[in-house]
Amino acid sequence: MIRINDIIDKITEYNPDADIDLIDRAYIYSARVHDGQVRLSGEPYLSHPLEVANILAENMKLDVVSIAAGLLHDVIEDTHSTPEEVKEIFGPEVLHIVSGVTKLSSLTFNSSQARQAESIRRMFLAMADDIRVVLIKLTDRLHNMRTLQFHKTEQRKKEISQETLDIYAPIAARLGIYWIKKELEDTAFMYLYPEEHSNIKDLVSGDKEKREEYVELVKKQIKKTMGENNLKCEVLGRYKSFYSIYKKMTTQNLEFKDVYDIIAFRIILDTVPQCYEALGIIHSLWKPIDKKFKDYIGFPKPNMYQALHTSVIGPSGERIELQIRTREMDKVAKAGIAAHWSYKEGKSIDENISKTFAWIQNVVENQENFMNPDEFLENVRIDLFPDEVYVFTPRGEIKNLPKGATPVDFAYLIHTEVGNQCSGAKVNERIVPLNYELKTGDRLKILTTKNHHPSKDWLNFVKTVKARSRIRQWIKTQETERSITLGREMCEKTFRKNDLNFNAIIKSETMAKVVEHFGFKSIDDLIANVGYGKITPLQVVRKFISKPDSIDKQKSLINKIVGRVRKKKPKTGVIVKGVDDILIKFGKCCQPVPGDPITGYITQGYGVTVHRTSCVNALKMNPERQIDVEWNKEVFSETYPVKICITSYDRVGLLADIASNISKNRANILSVSSKIQANSLVNCLLTISVTDTKHLKKVLSDIKKVKRIFEAKRLKD
């Protein structure tokens, strides 16, 4: 088992001022809480966090907070340790990272989700709000893959390997940490396709001697030519990973001998101009292969990778792949994004982070310079942490929604009917309000109820276009249905007045002609338009009453003349949407007054009854019969009855004072009753008439000023 002192030595090598005390304390704490736990390998559990911390220090040269978090990465999940304790001992930053790693560990994926791999990777990155969380999680997986042989079943080894291949290796690549990507892929490949793995291994090592000779030859030739041009350089030759050879053979259907770039060469120089110079030299030495050149120095990859890539026909006619880059670029290529988070002398971590983001910003602004826009967008979006949330369905599928999306958006994403019947939602087994803001990682279940309907209020919080348009569509259909109900009521009434039975006439041929005459598609269409107020029921009924033409014409002439006068006839104080020829009644239960929020209900044979929106009776009515109404702002003259209650101490002349106060405010008293209570208080119940809520408010506040009165309020307010 690696010792903590070895790790500390490595840290102090690249960060002499490191807070070793933090590392020490994290180690002691981790050792204490993991005490007695054993890994599948039989080693003490502590060996795992130690190995993880060692990789973070040795290979990634990360800051002490990351390494302490590495030592502690499993304590919350696997021991009795609590987040509060970790925070108290190690501070909020360490806790934040440890919690982040723990949260990612709780995401488990089964193989049926392989097709969603991209969603999972995005979810993974979206959940880790600190890139160091991802670095630790990758390192954790790396060590688990290194010790995978201790798992008992082949099945489990294959599952873990598949997950590594689908999720972790691509994330490592995306962050530019190619050495982790390569190791994860090769190890997973070995467990998933043992035969293919050993075949390629044999083939690579089969002609190893011959190949090594060849590598030396090419290296020597490059060095010699560079030397002749006064370029000092380092040349490396490396074998491609087994998995990348396998992938090339299968995806391009090639034989092993045809996978030309099994050996790739890397030339490392001091400066950028030297890189371009070296490229020119290589191209004049060996014939470059058309279209195989890529300038990632001028146009870095979104993960900050920089190098010149080219392929040439080598000395013995074989193709060679070459990467040319500076020492600094080489460091970034090896550590990827981690290089920007690692300790650098004299620079704080924050400075590095802001530099990184400035860099990404720069890339965003220069988007058009990118050769592969898809690759660019995909990468940058994740680096900037997307405006998206990723949530699970009850069956474990991942759904992707815009940030701020709610359970209603999710419901409509699943199915329009699920959205329309959505009556509640559970997030991670707990009931949440429908306007709950979804978070990445939430496991969501939509509760539906038959005959439950979308609400207009949903439009105030839904984020997706789909939900919005579906809700609107439902409301529109609903309004059409209401208009039909209302239109039918109006027609029935008008026909009845003219001694005609509307429902009997509906099926007649004359009616079909009338429908055609008005230019409607169907009788329902006509009825709905009566409901909308586009035509009046009188216009319809006239088609069924035989009157001499001349009288009709005369009448319409008179109508025209008196029309203006008629319009001045006092109207009701309430407008039913799009209809003005309808009987309005006010609910006695709640007595609406202009200014109150109101709603209407169609009453069989009686037109529309108006209630206050808050009225208990109204809430009990059939929502199918509900109709939008509003106060007519052009009507001032009407007054409305309203019940008020006044509480006071009994005294002589009390009622007279109240009465004069009310009449002073030009309100009428319609009825009075009073009752003396046991505690010598008097309750006066009055019905007064007011013009609107403002008026009522004024009356009430004036009454309160009367001596010995301490309460005056509207009943059921």
Q: The dihedral of CA 587, 588, 590, 592: what is its sign?
A: positive
Report in angstroms how near the CB of residue 65 gets to Mn ion at its nearest.
18
Residue range at the interface with Mn ion (CB under 5 A); choices 24-32, 135-143, 335-343, 645-653: 135-143
Segment lying near Mn ion (by CB under 5 A), choices 132-140, 420-428, 484-492, 649-657:
132-140
Name the residue whose CB lies closest to Mn ion.
Answer: 140
CB of 49 to Mn ion, least distance (A): 7
Q: Interface with Mn ion by CB under 5 A: which range of 138-146, 155-163, 498-506, 537-545?
A: 138-146
CA distance 589 to 353: 65
The backbone torsions φ and ψ at residue 598, rounded to the nearest 5 degrees and listed phi first, read -130, 165
Q: Which of residues 364-403 bind Mn ion (CB under 5 A)?
A: none
Distance, CA of 351 to CA of 353 (rounded, Å): 5
Query: Whole-number minimum distance, CB 103 to Mn ion, in Å?
Result: 13
Please give the size of the binding site for Mn ion, defined by CB under 5 A: 2
Query: Measuring CA to CA, which residue among 641, 595, 590, 597 is closest to residue 618?
Result: 590
Residue 621 DSSP symbol: S
* Closest CB to Mn ion among residues 51, 130: 51
**Which DSSP symbol is given to 109?**
-
Q: What are the C-alpha distances in Å from 184 to residues 84, 111, 122, 188?
A: 34, 18, 19, 6
* Smallest distance, Mn ion to C-beta of residue 140, A: 4
Least distance CB 461 / Mn ion (angstroms): 39
Give the footprint of Mn ion on residues 274-293 (CB under 5 A).
Answer: none
Of the candidates 634, 642, 668, 669, the residue with the CA atom closest to the CA atom of residue 586: 642
CB of 73 to Mn ion, least distance (A): 6
φ/ψ bin of 405: left (φ > 0), alpha (ψ from -120 to 50), beta (otherwise): beta
Q: Please say which residue, 70 or 454, places its beta carbon nearer to Mn ion.
A: 70
Can you read off the two tokens belonging to residue 627?
């109709």
Residue that has been written with the tokens 């529309």 in this structure: 608
Amino acid, res. 267: I
Please state the closest distance from residue 76 (CB atom) to Mn ion, in A: 11
* Sequence-distant (≥ 6) Cβ neighbours of residue 296 within 8 angstroms: 305, 306, 307, 308, 309
Instruction: Name the catalytic one among 77, 85, 657, 692.
Output: 77
Query: Stretches 137-145, 233-241, 448-456, 469-477: which one binds Mn ion (CB under 5 A)?
Result: 137-145
| C-beta closer to Mn ion: residue 82 or 613 | 82
Residue 140 interacting with Mn ion (CB under 5 A):
yes
Among the listed residues 24, 78, 93, 295, the single catalytic one is 78
Q: Is 409 in the site for Mn ion (CB under 5 A)?
A: no
33 CB contacts (<8 Å, ≥6 apart)? 75, 79, 80, 81
By rule CB under 5 A, what string of x and - marks binding of each residue 58-77 to Mn ion? ----------------x---
Between residues 171 and 615, which has the closer beta carbon with respect to Mn ion? 171
Q: Is 78 a catalytic residue?
A: yes
Instruction: Tell me whether residue 77 is one of the annotated catalytic residues.
Output: yes
Sign for the CA dihedral angle at 385, 389, 392, 397 comes to negative
When the beta carbons of 140 and 409 are compared against Mn ion, the nearer one is 140
Locate the DSSP E strands across 230-373.
Answer: 234-239, 263-269, 294-295, 308-313, 319-326
| Residue number, 74 or 492, with CB nearest to Mn ion | 74
Name residue 578's amino acid.
G
Nearer to Mn ion, 63 or 140 (CB): 140
- Could you list the active site residues? 77-78
Q: Residues interacting with Mn ion, by CB under 5 A?
A: 74, 140
